[in-house]
Amino acid sequence: MSKLRKQAQNRPCQIRSEYCNHDPATTVLCHIHKPSISGGMGMKANDMLAAHGCSACHDYVDGRTKLAFHSKTERDLYLYEGCFRTQKILADEGKIGVL
């Protein structure tokens, strides 16, 4: 398990969808899932392209819940915003940076 994946544990959810369970005990690193970004279909993106997400939000952005009124684009937006918030948190803590 990578350091960024391990550090996601017990953190507040940054995806913050309306289905969020607000339980840090269920938080994992939720990866962006676009073949053009991750390198191919079925391949996981780099851990830098991920958000801290609770189990409910993870299911939501991955399309494992049946919410017909939300498009893939809407779910992606939640994930991308969560990714940006997660990157800011990690940068503020000095865990990631730009040279």
Question: For 1-99, where are the alpha helices, taking DSSP H only?
Answer: 3-8, 35-38, 55-61, 72-92
Q: What is d(CA 32, CA 49) in angstroms, rounded to the nearest whole number?
A: 6
Q: What is d(CA 42, CA 33) in angstroms, rounded to the nearest whole number?
A: 8
Q: 22: left (phi > 0), else alpha (psi -120 to 50), else beta? A: left
- Does residue 91 have a pLDDT over 90? yes
The string of pLDDT tens digits covering residues 7-64 is 899 999 999 999 999 999 999 999 997 655 655 556 677 888 999 999 999 999 998 8
pLDDT number for residue 89: 96
Q: What is d(CA 42, CA 23) in angstroms, rounded to the nearest whole number?
A: 28
Q: Which domains does the chain have, with CATH numbers?
A: 3-92 (3.30.50.20)
pLDDT number for residue 47: 84
pTM listed for this prediction: 0.86
Who has greater pLDDT, 25 or 65?
25
